[in-house]
Protein backbone atom coordinates (compact mmCIF):
# COMPACT_ATOMS: atom_id res chain seq x y z
CA UNK A 1 0.00 0.00 0.00
CA UNK A 2 2.80 2.34 -1.01
CA UNK A 3 0.47 4.95 -2.47
CA UNK A 4 -2.22 5.04 0.22
CA UNK A 5 -3.96 8.41 0.35
CA UNK A 6 -2.34 9.69 -2.85
CA UNK A 7 -4.35 10.65 -5.93
CA UNK A 8 -3.27 9.34 -9.34
CA UNK A 9 -4.53 10.64 -12.69
CA UNK A 10 -4.38 8.18 -15.58
CA UNK A 11 -5.11 9.70 -19.00
CA UNK A 12 -6.89 7.40 -21.45
CA UNK A 13 -7.61 5.22 -18.43
CA UNK A 14 -10.90 3.63 -19.50
CA UNK A 15 -9.44 0.73 -21.48
CA UNK A 16 -6.31 -1.15 -22.50
CA UNK A 17 -3.03 -0.28 -20.84
CA UNK A 18 -4.50 2.77 -19.05
CA UNK A 19 -7.20 0.71 -17.37
CA UNK A 20 -4.67 -1.88 -16.21
CA UNK A 21 -2.54 0.95 -14.77
CA UNK A 22 -5.54 2.43 -12.93
CA UNK A 23 -6.29 -0.94 -11.32
CA UNK A 24 -2.66 -1.61 -10.43
CA UNK A 25 -2.23 1.81 -8.78
CA UNK A 26 -5.49 1.21 -6.88
CA UNK A 27 -3.97 -2.06 -5.63
CA UNK A 28 -1.04 0.03 -4.40
CA UNK A 29 -3.50 2.14 -2.38
CA UNK A 30 -3.98 5.17 -4.65
CA UNK A 31 -7.27 6.92 -5.36
CA UNK A 32 -7.79 7.20 -9.11
CA UNK A 33 -8.95 9.93 -11.49
CA UNK A 34 -9.65 8.39 -14.88
CA UNK A 35 -9.51 10.64 -17.92
CA UNK A 36 -11.38 9.48 -21.02
CA UNK A 37 -12.16 11.07 -24.36
CA UNK A 38 -15.24 9.37 -25.76
CA UNK A 39 -16.73 6.39 -23.90
CA UNK A 40 -18.31 7.35 -20.54
CA UNK A 41 -19.63 3.83 -19.99
CA UNK A 42 -16.17 2.24 -20.26
CA UNK A 43 -14.74 4.94 -17.97
CA UNK A 44 -17.47 4.32 -15.38
CA UNK A 45 -16.83 0.57 -15.56
CA UNK A 46 -13.15 1.18 -14.87
CA UNK A 47 -14.11 3.39 -11.91
CA UNK A 48 -16.37 0.63 -10.56
CA UNK A 49 -13.45 -1.82 -10.68
CA UNK A 50 -11.28 0.64 -8.74
CA UNK A 51 -14.03 1.24 -6.16
CA UNK A 52 -14.37 -2.53 -5.71
CA UNK A 53 -10.78 -2.39 -4.42
CA UNK A 54 -11.84 0.11 -1.77
CA UNK A 55 -10.34 3.21 -3.41
CA UNK A 56 -12.01 6.42 -4.59
CA UNK A 57 -12.46 6.76 -8.35
CA UNK A 58 -14.05 9.33 -10.66
CA UNK A 59 -14.10 9.70 -14.45
CA UNK A 60 -13.30 12.99 -16.22
CA UNK A 61 -14.01 13.60 -19.89
CA UNK A 62 -11.40 15.61 -21.77
CA UNK A 63 -9.61 15.61 -25.11
CA UNK A 64 -6.04 16.09 -23.92
CA UNK A 65 -5.13 17.80 -27.20
CA UNK A 66 -7.38 20.71 -26.22
CA UNK A 67 -5.74 23.19 -23.79
CA UNK A 68 -8.90 24.78 -22.33
CA UNK A 69 -10.39 21.30 -21.74
CA UNK A 70 -7.18 20.23 -19.99
CA UNK A 71 -7.21 23.28 -17.80
CA UNK A 72 -10.86 22.73 -16.84
CA UNK A 73 -10.34 19.01 -16.20
CA UNK A 74 -7.39 19.48 -13.85
CA UNK A 75 -9.23 22.24 -11.94
CA UNK A 76 -12.26 19.95 -11.55
CA UNK A 77 -10.18 16.98 -10.39
CA UNK A 78 -8.45 19.18 -7.79
CA UNK A 79 -11.80 20.42 -6.52
CA UNK A 80 -13.52 17.03 -6.46
CA UNK A 81 -10.66 14.76 -5.41
CA UNK A 82 -7.66 16.84 -4.27
CA UNK A 83 -4.12 17.41 -5.55
CA UNK A 84 -2.71 15.02 -8.14
CA UNK A 85 0.57 13.48 -6.96
CA UNK A 86 0.92 10.66 -9.49
CA UNK A 87 0.40 11.40 -13.18
CA UNK A 88 0.42 8.65 -15.76
CA UNK A 89 0.39 10.12 -19.26
CA UNK A 90 -1.04 7.16 -21.13
CA UNK A 91 -3.51 8.54 -23.71
CA UNK A 92 -2.29 8.04 -27.24
CA UNK A 93 -3.40 7.46 -30.82
CA UNK A 94 -1.94 6.17 -34.08
CA UNK A 95 -2.60 7.33 -37.66
CA UNK A 96 -0.28 5.02 -39.59
CA UNK A 97 0.89 5.76 -43.14
CA UNK A 98 4.24 5.84 -44.85
CA UNK A 99 5.81 9.28 -44.55
CA UNK A 100 5.39 9.94 -48.30
CA UNK A 101 1.63 9.43 -48.02
CA UNK A 102 1.18 11.13 -44.66
CA UNK A 103 -0.96 14.27 -44.60
CA UNK A 104 -0.09 17.34 -42.57
CA UNK A 105 -3.36 16.72 -40.74
CA UNK A 106 -2.53 13.18 -39.58
CA UNK A 107 0.97 14.32 -38.58
CA UNK A 108 -0.52 17.09 -36.42
CA UNK A 109 -3.25 14.88 -35.02
CA UNK A 110 -0.77 12.37 -33.59
CA UNK A 111 1.72 14.96 -32.36
CA UNK A 112 -1.03 17.00 -30.69
CA UNK A 113 -2.26 14.05 -28.59
CA UNK A 114 0.82 11.87 -28.10
CA UNK A 115 3.37 14.62 -27.46
CA UNK A 116 1.81 18.06 -26.91
CA UNK A 117 -1.26 16.73 -25.09
CA UNK A 118 0.82 14.68 -22.67
CA UNK A 119 3.17 17.64 -22.12
CA UNK A 120 0.33 20.09 -21.47
CA UNK A 121 -1.46 17.82 -18.98
CA UNK A 122 1.86 17.54 -17.15
CA UNK A 123 2.26 21.32 -17.21
CA UNK A 124 -1.16 21.71 -15.55
CA UNK A 125 -0.53 19.04 -12.90
CA UNK A 126 3.06 19.86 -11.92
CA UNK A 127 2.21 22.69 -9.43
CA UNK A 128 0.36 20.13 -7.23
CA UNK A 129 3.54 18.05 -6.97
CA UNK A 130 5.76 21.09 -6.38
CA UNK A 131 3.45 22.22 -3.55
CA UNK A 132 3.54 18.76 -1.99
CA UNK A 133 7.31 18.39 -2.41
CA UNK A 134 6.60 14.92 -3.84
CA UNK A 135 5.41 13.64 -7.18
CA UNK A 136 5.63 10.99 -9.87
CA UNK A 137 5.27 11.68 -13.58
CA UNK A 138 5.26 8.65 -15.86
CA UNK A 139 5.02 8.93 -19.63
CA UNK A 140 3.90 5.93 -21.67
CA UNK A 141 6.16 6.13 -24.68
CA UNK A 142 6.83 3.19 -27.04
CA UNK A 143 9.49 0.90 -28.42
CA UNK A 144 8.70 2.73 -31.68
CA UNK A 145 10.02 5.98 -30.18
CA UNK A 146 13.38 4.26 -29.71
CA UNK A 147 13.81 2.10 -32.82
CA UNK A 148 11.44 3.75 -35.32
CA UNK A 149 8.90 1.78 -37.35
CA UNK A 150 7.81 1.53 -40.97
CA UNK A 151 4.60 3.53 -41.45
CA UNK A 152 4.73 5.24 -38.05
CA UNK A 153 6.97 8.29 -38.50
CA UNK A 154 4.44 10.63 -36.82
CA UNK A 155 3.97 8.26 -33.87
CA UNK A 156 7.72 7.58 -33.59
CA UNK A 157 8.48 11.32 -33.58
CA UNK A 158 5.92 11.91 -30.83
CA UNK A 159 7.07 8.98 -28.70
CA UNK A 160 10.76 9.86 -29.21
CA UNK A 161 9.88 13.42 -28.19
CA UNK A 162 8.38 12.09 -24.97
CA UNK A 163 11.70 10.45 -24.10
CA UNK A 164 13.53 13.75 -24.57
CA UNK A 165 10.84 15.50 -22.53
CA UNK A 166 11.17 12.90 -19.76
CA UNK A 167 14.90 13.53 -19.44
CA UNK A 168 14.60 17.32 -19.52
CA UNK A 169 11.76 17.48 -17.02
CA UNK A 170 13.54 15.00 -14.74
CA UNK A 171 16.45 17.42 -14.51
CA UNK A 172 14.18 20.40 -13.82
CA UNK A 173 12.15 18.73 -11.05
CA UNK A 174 14.59 16.39 -9.28
CA UNK A 175 15.32 18.80 -6.42
CA UNK A 176 11.59 19.24 -5.79
CA UNK A 177 11.02 15.62 -4.82
CA UNK A 178 9.51 14.76 -8.19
CA UNK A 179 10.69 11.92 -10.43
CA UNK A 180 9.93 11.81 -14.14
CA UNK A 181 10.26 8.53 -16.00
CA UNK A 182 8.96 6.78 -19.10
CA UNK A 183 7.79 3.26 -19.74
CA UNK A 184 8.38 2.03 -23.28
CA UNK A 185 6.10 -0.91 -24.09
CA UNK A 186 6.80 -3.28 -26.92
CA UNK A 187 3.76 -4.74 -28.70
CA UNK A 188 0.93 -5.24 -26.21
CA UNK A 189 -2.45 -6.96 -26.70
CA UNK A 190 -4.95 -4.06 -26.74
CA UNK A 191 -7.46 -2.38 -29.09
CA UNK A 192 -4.54 -0.42 -30.55
CA UNK A 193 -2.77 -3.54 -31.82
CA UNK A 194 -6.00 -5.37 -32.72
CA UNK A 195 -5.98 -3.50 -36.03
CA UNK A 196 -2.42 -4.62 -36.90
CA UNK A 197 -2.52 -7.34 -39.61
CA UNK A 198 -1.88 -10.93 -38.42
CA UNK A 199 1.24 -11.37 -40.56
CA UNK A 200 2.82 -8.27 -38.97
CA UNK A 201 1.98 -9.53 -35.47
CA UNK A 202 3.50 -12.91 -36.35
CA UNK A 203 6.69 -11.10 -37.40
CA UNK A 204 6.65 -9.24 -34.07
CA UNK A 205 6.39 -12.55 -32.18
CA UNK A 206 9.33 -13.94 -34.15
CA UNK A 207 11.43 -10.85 -33.40
CA UNK A 208 10.59 -10.90 -29.68
CA UNK A 209 12.90 -13.15 -27.64
CA UNK A 210 10.06 -13.90 -25.19
CA UNK A 211 8.03 -15.08 -28.21
CA UNK A 212 4.70 -13.34 -27.61
CA UNK A 213 2.96 -9.99 -27.29
CA UNK A 214 2.84 -8.38 -23.85
CA UNK A 215 -0.20 -7.90 -21.62
CA UNK A 216 -1.45 -4.54 -20.29
CA UNK A 217 -0.85 -5.78 -16.73
CA UNK A 218 2.85 -6.17 -17.51
CA UNK A 219 3.08 -2.46 -18.34
CA UNK A 220 1.06 -1.59 -15.25
CA UNK A 221 3.52 -3.47 -13.01
CA UNK A 222 6.40 -1.31 -14.32
CA UNK A 223 4.37 1.86 -13.75
CA UNK A 224 3.57 0.76 -10.19
CA UNK A 225 7.27 0.41 -9.44
CA UNK A 226 8.13 3.84 -10.86
CA UNK A 227 5.22 5.43 -8.96
CA UNK A 228 6.25 3.91 -5.64
CA UNK A 229 8.28 5.73 -2.97
CA UNK A 230 10.90 2.98 -3.41
CA UNK A 231 11.75 4.36 -6.87
CA UNK A 232 12.83 7.74 -5.44
CA UNK A 233 16.35 7.45 -6.92
CA UNK A 234 15.11 6.53 -10.41
CA UNK A 235 14.54 9.57 -12.62
CA UNK A 236 14.97 10.41 -16.30
CA UNK A 237 14.83 6.68 -17.02
CA UNK A 238 13.14 4.81 -19.87
CA UNK A 239 12.02 1.40 -18.68
CA UNK A 240 11.67 -1.01 -21.61
CA UNK A 241 8.93 -3.61 -21.22
CA UNK A 242 9.13 -5.31 -24.58
CA UNK A 243 9.97 -9.01 -24.19
CA UNK A 244 13.52 -8.28 -25.33
CA UNK A 245 12.51 -7.00 -28.79
CA UNK A 246 14.71 -3.92 -28.38
CA UNK A 247 17.58 -3.65 -25.92
CA UNK A 248 19.62 -0.53 -25.30
P1 LIG B 1 -5.93 2.11 -26.61
O2 LIG B 1 -6.25 2.65 -27.95
O3 LIG B 1 -6.69 0.91 -26.14
O4 LIG B 1 -6.03 3.21 -25.48
C5 LIG B 1 -5.69 4.54 -25.69
C6 LIG B 1 -6.55 5.38 -24.78
O7 LIG B 1 -6.24 6.76 -24.99
C8 LIG B 1 -8.04 5.21 -25.09
O9 LIG B 1 -8.76 5.08 -23.88
C10 LIG B 1 -8.39 6.50 -25.81
O11 LIG B 1 -9.75 6.87 -25.64
C12 LIG B 1 -7.46 7.47 -25.12
N13 LIG B 1 -7.26 8.68 -25.91
C14 LIG B 1 -6.93 8.78 -27.21
N15 LIG B 1 -6.89 10.05 -27.59
C16 LIG B 1 -7.23 10.81 -26.51
C17 LIG B 1 -7.36 12.19 -26.28
N18 LIG B 1 -7.17 13.09 -27.26
N19 LIG B 1 -7.69 12.61 -25.04
C20 LIG B 1 -7.90 11.71 -24.03
N21 LIG B 1 -7.80 10.38 -24.21
C22 LIG B 1 -7.46 9.93 -25.42
O23 LIG B 1 -4.39 1.81 -26.68
P24 LIG B 1 -3.35 1.16 -25.65
O25 LIG B 1 -2.68 0.09 -26.39
O26 LIG B 1 -3.98 0.86 -24.35
O27 LIG B 1 -2.33 2.38 -25.53
C28 LIG B 1 -2.06 3.10 -24.34
C29 LIG B 1 -0.76 3.85 -24.51
O30 LIG B 1 0.29 2.89 -24.70
C31 LIG B 1 -0.70 4.76 -25.73
O32 LIG B 1 0.02 5.93 -25.41
C33 LIG B 1 0.07 3.95 -26.74
O34 LIG B 1 0.72 4.75 -27.67
C35 LIG B 1 1.05 3.22 -25.83
N36 LIG B 1 1.62 2.02 -26.41
C37 LIG B 1 0.83 0.96 -26.78
C38 LIG B 1 1.42 -0.17 -27.32
C39 LIG B 1 0.64 -1.36 -27.74
O40 LIG B 1 1.24 -2.27 -28.34
N41 LIG B 1 -0.64 -1.47 -27.46
C42 LIG B 1 2.87 -0.24 -27.54
C43 LIG B 1 3.59 0.92 -27.11
C44 LIG B 1 2.98 2.00 -26.56
CATH number, domain of 125, equals 3.40.50.720
The yes-or-no verdict on residue 201 having pLDDT over 80 is yes
Q: Provide the pLDDT for residue 1.
A: 64
Answer whether 204 contacts ligand 1 (Cβ < 6 A): no
* Mean pLDDT calculated for residue range 169-181: 98
User: Residue 248 domain-assigned?
Assistant: no
User: Residue 242 domain-assigned?
Assistant: no
Answer whether 242 contacts ligand 1 (Cβ < 6 A): no
Mean pLDDT, all residues of the chain: 97
Percent of the chain with pLDDT over 70: 100
User: Residue 220 domain-assigned?
Assistant: yes
* Mean pLDDT calculated for residue range 137-159: 98
Domain, as residue range, for 130: 7-237
* Extended strands (E) in the chain: 7-10, 31-36, 57-61, 86-89, 135-140, 178-185, 238-241
User: Residue 246 domain-assigned?
Assistant: no
Is residue 94 within 8 Å of residue 156, measured between CB atoms? Answer: no
Work out how many domains the chain is built from and give that number.
1
Q: How far is CA 71 from CA 11, 15, 20, 68, 78, in A?
A: 14, 23, 25, 5, 11
Per-residue pLDDT tens digits for 104-117:
999 999 999 999 99
Report CA(153)–ligand 1 centroid distance (Å). Answer: 17
Q: Provide the pLDDT for residue 248.
A: 85
User: Residue 104 domain-assigned?
Assistant: yes
* Mean pLDDT calculated for residue range 187-193: 94
User: Residue 245 domain-assigned?
Assistant: no
Q: How confident is the model at residue 241 (pLDDT cuts 50, 70, 90)?
A: very high
**Catalytic center residues:** 155
3-state secondary structure of 141: coil
Answer whether 181 contacts ligand 1 (Cβ < 6 A): no
* Mean pLDDT calculated for residue range 125-151: 98
* Mean pLDDT calculated for residue range 15-30: 98
Amino acid sequence: MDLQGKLALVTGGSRGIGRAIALELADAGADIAINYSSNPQAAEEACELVRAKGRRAMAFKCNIANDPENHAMIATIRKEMGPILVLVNNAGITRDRTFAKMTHESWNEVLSVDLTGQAMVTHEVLPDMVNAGWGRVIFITSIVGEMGNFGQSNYAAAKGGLIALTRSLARETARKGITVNAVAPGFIETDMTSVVPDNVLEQVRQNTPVGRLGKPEEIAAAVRFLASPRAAFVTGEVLNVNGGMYMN
